[in-house]
Amino acid sequence: MHISTDIWIWIAAILTLCIYSFLYKDNPFYKFAEHLLVGVSAGYFFVIYFWNLVVPNLLTPLKNGFGTLFSGGGFTGDLAALVPGILGLIILTRLIPKIAWMSRWAIGFYFGAFQGLTITGYMQAYILAQIYGTFMKGNNPVFSVALIGSFFSDPGWGKILLAVSGPLMILGVICTLTYFFFSKEHKGFVGGVAKIGIVFLMIGFGASFGYTVMARVSLLIGRLQFLLRDWLGVIS
Amino acid sequence: MKKLTGIFIALSLAAAATAAAPEEPSLPVTARDAPNDAGGAVEIFWLASPLEKEEGFKGYEVQRRAEGEEVFATIAEIPPGEVVHQDQEAEDGVPYEYRVRVLTSEGAPVVLGVSKATASGQWFNTARTNALVGVVFTSFVIIFFIFRARGGAELFVRKIAGLDAVDDAIGRATEMGKPILFVSGLADASEISTIAAMTILGKVARKTAEYETPLIVPCYDPIVMMVEKEIVRQAYTEMGKPDAFDEDSVFFVTQSQFGYVAAVDGIMLREKPATNFYMGAFFAESLILAETGAETGAIQIAGTDRVTQLPFFITACDYTLMGEELYAATAYLGRDPLFLGSLKGQDWAKAVIMAALVVGTVLLIISTDLGLWFAKLFETSAS
Amino acid sequence: MRRELPLAICFIMGIIMTVQFFIPHRHSQWLFDNMLKWLIIVLTFAMILGIGNLVKLHIQKVQHRRRDWLYSIVALFGISASLITGFGWGIEADSPFMVLFNYVQIPMQATMFSLLAFYIASAAFRTFRARTVEATLLLVAAVIVMLGRVPLEGIVGRWLPDLAEWILDYPNMAAKRGIMIGIGLGAISTALKIILGIERSWLGGGD
Amino acid sequence: MNVYEKFLHIDRRYIFILVALGVIIPLVWPLGLAVTTSPPVENVYNAVEELAPGTPVLVSVDYDPSTQPELSPMTIAVLRHCFARDLPVIITVLHPGGPGLALEISDRISKEVGAVYGEDYVFLGYKVGSSAVILSIGQDFHVSFPADYFNTPIDEIPLMKKVKNYNDIGLVITMSGSTYPDAWVAFAHERYGQKLAAGVTAVMAADYYPYLQTGQLVGLIGGLKGAAEYEKLINRPDDGLKGMDAQTIVHLFVVLMILLGNIAFLFVQRAKKREAA
C-alpha cells in the first residue's frame, strides 16, 4: 500500500467520495461538493470562453483594426469584430430595466442565425442522410434481388438473415414514420402500421439501452481505479 | 398529394442532372478549377502512364507555373497508383499551367502532359442541390398548410399521451402543495429542441400561474435563462397574476453538464417537486436525472429529440414525448390553428418521404443500378 | 422597435444563414466561420448575466440566512476561485486555474458521470418488467445486446454477439432513422415558424 | 406484502452496493476471465508486428480525461507493444485536454521498459487545429511541430532527425473519444496514403466499422474490450483485462437483476390474480 502524499490527489479523492455519498442520501458532504462544483464550473466556462474566444476573436481584431484605422490604414476585415462586440453590449442592456427591451435585438440575431443553420443542417443530417442510409449499407444497397436469389439457390440461416434484413430496415423506417403521423387517428390500417412502428421503436430502445451499459461501467471503473490506485495505492 | 409527389420527383431529377459527375479523363493530363469550393484550389488528374508497369517507376511529380513565369516549380510528388492531386495553394484568377511528369529511378523525368486552369470560388454548391430541393419543398408544404389553416380549415390531431398528462401532473402538484420542476435541456438556444422546450414552458407556466403552484426553472445556458424568464413572466401576466411571478424562480446554474446535474439532483431531493418536466436536449445525464426524480416519487414527463437518450427516459419516466412529438407539443397544448397547420404540413412531407422509400424499394427490385441511382439522389456532401 | 425590429432581425439572419449553406464561395465561407465565433462571443456576454444571476441568488441566500445559506458561501468561493485564478494567472497548462480544473472540477464531474453505472442497474431492475408486449420487446432486446457484449463466446457461441449486432444494425437502425426523419421535419418546421415570426414566444411579453 | 413484493420494492441502495463490489473486487483480485480476440484488434496488432524494427510509429493521444478509463489502457498496451518491437514512438496530441494524460502515460511506460527519450520516443505535445495539423505533418513535421513538449527544437532530437513526414512513418494510431479518426482518415490516409489504425470508445466503435471494410483503417480497438484483447495479444494483462472482468460481472449482474425482478413480478401478478378470483 502506498497512500498518496500529494495534497491535490487527496482533495480530488475526498471530493469524489463527497459526490458518491449522494448514493446513500442527500447530506452535508454532498451539498458542499455540489455547491463547490457549481461555483467552480460556472466560473471555469466564463474564463475559458474569454481567453479562447473573446480575446482572439474580439479584443485582438478590434485592437488591430482600430490600430490600422487610426494610423491611416483605412477599414480592414478586423473591424468585423464590431458586430459581436455591439451585440454583446446590447445583450447587457438587460441589466438596465429602462432599455432592457433592446436586448431582444441581439436575441433576434442569435435565434435567427441558428434557425437558418438548423433548417439546412437538419435537412442534410436528419432527412437526406437517413433516407440514403435506409437504402445503403456502406457502398452497397441494403438488399438486392441477387441476395434474395442466393438464398433460394442455397438456403441457410445466414443467407435468410442477409436477404431479409434490408427489406426489414425499409419496412421499419416506414412503420416508425407512420407512428409519427399526427393528423391521422391511429385506427384501422394506419393504426396497425403504427403499431408495428412501436414494435421497432421498443426493440430499438432496448438495444440502445443494452449497448450503453458497457460504457457507463467503464466510467465507474475509471473512478474506482483513481481511488484505489492513485489515492490509496491498494492496486498496482 | 399526387401533385406534391410529382413536384418532388421532378425536382429530385433536376438535382441528379445538375450534380457534377466526376469526369473520365480523356486527355493525358487535365487541370480544372476544383468544383463547389471556396476558391483557391485546382484539381489535376491524369491517365496512368504505361511506365507504371515497368520496374523503376517511382510515381508522379506535379508542377505548376503561373502565366508569365518561366520555370515550373514542383508542388507535389504523388506515390504510384494515384492519379489525382489537388493544388490547395492556387490564387484565384491567376491562370496556371500544370505539368505532370513521370518519375523513374533512372533517367530524367518524362513529361506526361500539360494543362491550364484558373482557380475560382463558386456561388452555388451543386453537391447540395438535393438539400436545396428538400428545403424548398418542405418549407413550401409547411407554409402552404399554415396558410390553409389561417383560412379556417378543420384540423385534427391525434392523442399524445404525454401531453394529456400535463394538466393532471400540475393539478397533482397543486393538491400536494409542492412545486413543479422544469428542466429545459442541457443545450444552449442554438438547439432547436431547447426552443421547443421554451414554448412548452410557456404553456406550463400559464397553468402554474392559474393554480398558483410554485415553479422552479434551473437553466443551463444564460441566454436560455434570459428568454425563459421573460416567457414565464409573460405567462403570469397573461393569466392576470403578475404579482405571483417570482423573479428568482428562473435562474442560471452552470454550463458544466455534470455541475448542472449535481445542482438539479440537489433541488429534487430538497424541494421535493411533485412533478418534473425534462424537455429539450439531453445527453448522458438523462438517466441520472430521471432516476433521482423517480426516487423522490415525482411524476415525470420527459420529451427529447436525442435518440440515444430516449431509452432512458422511456424506462425511467412516466410519460415520454419521443422525437417529433416534442415539436408537436406546442401545437397540441395551444391548439393554435397556425401551429396545427404546420403539423399537417409535416405529415405531408412525411408521406412524400415514405413514398420515396417505396419508390426506391421498387427500383431496387427492378434493377440494382436503378435503385442505386435513386439512393444517390439523397447522398449528402460534407463540405 | 421593441417587437418588430427583433422579429425582422431574426427573419433576415435566418434567411442569410439558410442561403449561406448553398454558397461555397470564400465570402460565404468567411461569414459562416465568423458567425459561429460571433455567436459564442454574444453568449459569453450573456454569461455575465448568468453568473451575475447566480452570484445575486447566493448573496441573497447568505444575507437572509435562508436554508442552506452556508453552502452558498461555498458556491461563491468556487466562482471567485475560478475567476481570480483564471484572470490573474491565465489558463496555461500548469496555472492555478488548470490545477483547480484538474483536481477539483474534473474529479467531481467524472464522479457525477459515473453515477450512471449505479442508476443503469437500478433502472433496469425497477422498470424492466414484462408488463405488456412492448415492454417485453424492450426488455428482451436489452438483455440480448447486453449479453452479446460480454465475452461469453466460449460458453454460448458466436450466435449471441452476432444476433446482438444484427439487432443494433437493423431493427434498431430502422427505428432510429424513422425517429430522426420525424425530428428533422419537426425541427425544420419549428425553425421556419421562428424565422417567419409565427412562433414568437422567445420575445417574451410586454411591448 | 409477500416476499416477492418486498423484493420488487427493495431499497435500491442494496443494488448500488452490489454494483460497487462487482467493480472493486475484480480490480483488486483480477479474475482473469477468458477474452477472445477479434479481427479488428488482431489487425492492429499485426500491423505493428509487420513493421521492421526501427520504423517510427505515430501515436496520437486525441482524448481527454472523460474517456480516459476506456482509452488509456489501449494506449498503454500499444506503447508497450511498440517498445517491445523496437519501434520508436512519436506521440502527438490533438485534443486540448490530452497533454497531461499523454505525458503521464509516456513517462510511466518509458520508465517501465527503459526507453530513452529522444531516441526511442518523443513527446511533441498539443497543437491547435486538428485537420490542419494532420495535413501539415504530411508536408513536414518540422513545420507543424518545430519543438517538442519541453521546447527542445526537434531538429536537435535524434529520432526526429530521421523523420520528415508520413513517408517516414510506418503506422499512425489515433486514440480518440470523439471524431478525430475521421480527420485522420480524410487527411492522413486519403491525402497521403498513410497506414492508419484507431482506438475508440465502445460506444463509438460501431460507427467506425465501415472504415475497416474500405481499408481506410487497418484495424480498430474498441473500448475496454478492445484494450483487453490487445493486452492478451501482447501477453501483458493490465487495466483492460481487469476492467473487462468488472464489466462482465456488472453486465451479468444487471441481466440477473432484470431476470429476478421479472420472476418476482410474475409471482406477484399470479398471487394478485388468485386473490381477485
Question: pLDDT tens digits for C46-73?
Answer: 999 999 999 999 999 999 999 999 999 9
Q: Is the pLDDT of residue D153 over 80?
A: yes
Answer yes or no: do D247 and A218 touch at CB < 8 A: yes
Q: Tens digit of pLDDT for each residue in B145-193? A: 999 998 887 788 899 988 999 989 999 999 999 999 999 999 988 889 9
Helices A157-179 & B337-366, crossing angle to 10 degrees?
160
* Segment 20-79 of chain A within 8 Å of chain C by CB: 20, 22-23, 31-51, 53-54, 57-58
D193 to chain B: nearest residue by CA?
Answer: B79
Vertex A87: Cα angle to A84 and A90 (nearest 5): 155
Q: Which of B84, B111, B117 is nearest to B99 (CA)?
A: B111
Q: Using CB atoms within 10 Å of the CB of residue B342, give its burial: 0 to 12 exposed, 13 to 18 middle, 19+ buried.
A: buried
D144 or D217: which carries more pLDDT confidence? D217
Helix (H, G, I), strand (E, B) or coil at D193: coil
**Closest CA–CA distance from residue A223 to any residue of chain D (Å):** 8
**Residue B128 with chain A: CB contacts under 8 Å:** 124
Q: Please say whether the beta carbons of B187 and B280 come within 8 A.
A: yes
Query: Which residue carries 535524434 as its cell?
Result: D158
Q: Please say whether the beta carbons of D207 and D182 come within 8 A.
A: no
Query: Touching check for D254 and chain C: CB below 8 Å?
Result: yes
**Closest CA–CA distance from residue D224 to any residue of chain B (Å):** 19
Q: Tens digit of pLDDT for each residue in B287-328? A: 999 999 999 999 999 999 999 899 999 999 999 999 999 999
**Residue D11 with chain A: CB contacts under 8 Å:** none
Q: What is the pLDDT of residue B18?
A: 47
Q: Which of C149, C23, C189, D207 is nearest to B329 (CA)?
A: C189
Reported as half-sphere exposure (CB side, CA atoms, 13 A), residue D204 has a value of 24
Q: What is the pLDDT of residue D167?
A: 87
* Strands in chain D per DSSP E: 57-62, 89-93, 121-126, 171-176, 196-200, 219-222
Q: Per 3-state DSSP, what percentage of chain A is helix, strand, and coil (rounded to 5)?
A: 80, 0, 15
> Could you give the CA distance from residue B197 to residue D149 in angstroms, rounded to a whole number?
46
Q: What is the pLDDT of residue B8?
A: 52
> Could you give the CA distance from residue A4 to residue A164 in angstroms, rounded to a whole number?
58
Query: Touching check for C101 and chain D: CB below 8 Å?
Result: no
Q: What is the pLDDT of residue B21?
A: 47
Neighbours of chain A (3+ CB pairs under 8 A): B, C, D
Q: What is the pLDDT of residue B105?
A: 83
Q: What is the pLDDT of residue B24?
A: 58
Q: Which of B128, B126, B140 is nearest to B8 (CA)?
A: B140
Neighbours of chain C (3+ CB pairs under 8 A): A, B, D
Number of neighbours of residue B346 by Cβ within 10 angstroms: 29
Q: Please say whether the beta carbons of C171 and A203 come within 8 A.
A: yes
Q: What is the pLDDT of residue B23?
A: 53
Q: What is the pLDDT of residue B382?
A: 54
Q: Is the pLDDT of residue D6 over 80?
A: yes
Q: Please say whether the beta carbons of A115 and B139 come within 8 A.
A: no
- Tell me the torsion sign for CA atoms A165, A171, A177, A182: negative
> Could you give the CA distance from residue D33 to residue D243 in angstroms, rounded to a whole number?
11
Which residues pair with residue D93 across a beta bridge?
A: D126
Q: Please say whether the beta carbons of B216 and B180 come within 8 A.
A: yes
Answer yes or no: do B315 and C21 touch at CB < 8 A: no
**Which uninterrupted H or E stretch holds B111?**
strand B110-118
Q: Which cell numbers hold the place of C203?
A: 420575445
Predicted TM-score of the model (pTM): 0.90
**Mean pLDDT (whole number) for C80-95:** 90
Model confidence band, residue C206 (pLDDT cutoffs 50, 70, 90): low
A33 to chain B: nearest residue by CA?
Answer: B262
**Closest CA–CA distance from residue C77 to any residue of chain D (Å):** 25
The span from the first CA to the last CA of chain B, in angstroms, equals: 33
CB neighbours of D265 closer than 8 A, spacing ≥ 6? Answer: C129, C130, C131, D4, D8
**Mean pLDDT (whole number) for D36-49:** 93
> Could you give the CA distance from residue D176 to residue B66 in angstroms, rounded to a whole number?
42
Q: What is the pLDDT of residue B17?
A: 47
Q: What is the pLDDT of residue B277?
A: 97
For chain B, state the CA radius of gyration: 30
C7 to chain A: nearest residue by CA?
Answer: A108
> Could you give the CA distance from residue D222 to residue D202 in angstroms, rounded to a whole number?
5
CB neighbours of B203 closer than 8 A, spacing ≥ 6? Answer: B166, B235, B329, B330, B333, B334
- Tell me the torsion sign for CA atoms A198, A201, A207, A208: negative
**Residue A220 with chain D: CB contacts under 8 Å:** 19-20, 23, 250
For chain A, state the CA radius of gyration: 29
**Mean pLDDT (whole number) for B42-46:** 91
Q: Measured in whole angstroms, how far is the alpha carbon of residue B105 from the centre of its chain? A: 51
CA dist D17 → B355, D14, D250 (Å): 53, 5, 12
Model confidence band, residue B83 (pLDDT cutoffs 50, 70, 90): confident
**Residue D19 with chain C: CB contacts under 8 Å:** 117-118, 121
D214 or D201: which carries more pLDDT confidence? D201
Answer yes or no: do D12 and B82 touch at CB < 8 A: no
Q: Tens digit of pLDDT for each residue in B344-372? A: 999 999 999 999 999 999 999 998 899 99
Answer yes or no: do D193 and B82 touch at CB < 8 A: yes
* Segment 299-358 of chain B within 8 Å of chain C by CB: 305, 307, 310-312, 314-316, 322-324, 326-328, 330, 338-339, 342-343, 345-346, 349-350, 353
Query: Which residue carries 438535393 as its cell?
Result: B130
Helix (H, G, I), strand (E, B) or coil at D176: strand
Answer yes or no: do C2 and A104 touch at CB < 8 A: yes
Q: What is the pLDDT of residue B82?
A: 77
Answer yes or no: do C189 and B233 touch at CB < 8 A: no
Q: B94-127 burial, b if ≥16 CB within 10 A, otherwise e?
A: eebbbbbbbbbeeeebeebbbbebbbbbbeebbb
Number of neighbours of residue D55 by Cβ within 10 angstroms: 17
Query: Touching check for C145 and chain D: CB below 8 Å?
Result: no
Q: Which of D203, A69, D222 is nearest to D230 (CA)?
A: D222
Q: Which of D231, D242, D247 is nearest to D75 (CA)?
A: D231
- Average per-residue pLDDT in chain B? 89
**Mean pLDDT (whole number) for D133-159:** 87
Interface test with C, best of B226, B234, B286, B291 (most C CBs within 10 A): B291
Q: Tens digit of pLDDT for each residue in B18-32? A: 444 455 567 889 999
Please provide the DSSP assignment of chain C as one string: --SHHHHHHHHHHHHHHHHHTT--SHHHHHHHHHHHHHHHHHHHHHHHHHHHHHHHHHHHHHHTT-TTHHHHHHHHHHHHHHHHHHHHH---TTSHHHHHIIIIIHHHHHHHHHHHHHHHHHHHHHH----SHHHHHHHHHHHHHHHHTSS-HHHH-THHHHHHHHHHHTHHHHHHHHHHHHHHHHHHHHHHHHHTTS--GGG-S--
Answer yes or no: do C189 and B135 touch at CB < 8 A: no
**Residue C166 with chain A: CB contacts under 8 Å:** 161, 165
The span from the first CA to the last CA of chain D, in angstroms, equals: 18
Q: Is the pLDDT of residue D233 over 80?
A: yes
Answer yes or no: do D13 and A23 touch at CB < 8 A: yes
Q: Tens digit of pLDDT for each residue in C2-47? A: 889 999 999 999 999 999 999 988 889 889 888 888 888 898 899 9
Q: What is the pLDDT of residue B186?
A: 94
CA dist D97 → A98, B253, D126 (Å): 43, 24, 9
CB neighbours of D45 closer than 8 A, spacing ≥ 6? Answer: D81, D219, D230, D233, D234
C124 → closest Cβ in D202, D244, D257? D257
Which residues pair with residue B100 across a beta bridge?
A: B62, B113
Query: Touching check for B77 and chain D: CB below 8 Å?
Result: no
Answer yes or no: do A205 and B310 touch at CB < 8 A: yes
D19 → closest Cβ in C117, C130, C154? C117
Q: A18-51 burial, b if ≥16 CB within 10 A, otherwise e?
A: bbbbbbeebeebbbbbbbbbbbbbbbbbbbbbbb
Which residues pair with residue D221 across a beta bridge?
A: D199
**Closest CA–CA distance from residue D193 to any residue of chain B (Å):** 8
Query: Touching check for A24 and chain D: CB below 8 Å?
Result: yes
D14 to chain A: nearest residue by CA?
Answer: A24
Q: Please say whether the beta carbons of C187 and A122 come within 8 A.
A: yes
Number of neighbours of residue B56 by Cβ within 10 angstroms: 10
Q: Please say whether the beta carbons of B258 and C112 come within 8 A.
A: yes
- Average per-residue pLDDT in chain D? 90
Number of neighbours of residue D66 by Cβ within 10 angstroms: 21
Q: What is the pLDDT of residue A65?
A: 93
Q: Which cell numbers hold the place of A133?
A: 442510409
Reported ipTM: the value is 0.90
In the 3-class helix/strand/coil scheme, how is A159-221 assigned residue by residue?
HHHHHHHHHHHHHHHHHHHHHCCCCCCCCHHHHHHHHHHHHHHHHHHHHHHHHHHHHHHHHHH
Q: Which of B14, B32, B10, B11 is nearest to B23 (CA)?
A: B32
- Average per-residue pLDDT in chain C? 91
**Closest CA–CA distance from residue D274 to any residue of chain A (Å):** 31
CA dist B94 → B38, B68, B121, B122, C42 (Å): 15, 10, 13, 16, 39
Q: What is the pLDDT along chain A (236 residues), one digit of tens a residue?
A: 689 999 999 999 999 999 999 999 999 999 999 999 999 999 999 998 898 888 888 999 999 999 999 998 888 888 999 999 999 999 999 999 899 899 999 999 999 999 999 999 999 999 999 999 999 887 788 888 877 777 777 777 777 777 888 999 999 999 999 999 999 899 999 999 999 999 999 999 999 999 888 788 988 999 999 999 999 998 87
Q: Please say whether the beta carbons of B4 and B348 come within 8 A.
A: yes
What's the maximum distance between 2 C-alpha atoms anywhere in chain D?
89
Q: What is the pLDDT of residue A162?
A: 76
**Mean pLDDT (whole number) for B262-282:** 96
Q: Tens digit of pLDDT for each residue in D172-193? A: 999 998 889 988 998 888 778 8
Q: Please say whether the beta carbons of D41 and D226 come within 8 A.
A: yes
* Segment 112-151 of chain D within 8 Å of chain C by CB: none
For chain C, state the CA radius of gyration: 26
Query: Which residue carries 518491437 as its cell?
Result: D85
Q: What is the pLDDT of residue B25?
A: 61
Vertex A91: Cα angle to B279 and B277 (nearest 5): 10
Answer yes or no: do D251 and C146 touch at CB < 8 A: yes
Q: Is the pLDDT of residue B7 over 60?
A: no
Q: What is the pLDDT of residue D179?
A: 85
Neighbours of chain B (3+ CB pairs under 8 A): A, C, D
Q: Which cell numbers hold the place of B112?
A: 506526361
**Closest CA–CA distance from residue D43 to any residue of chain B (Å):** 24
**Mean pLDDT (whole number) for C131-147:** 93
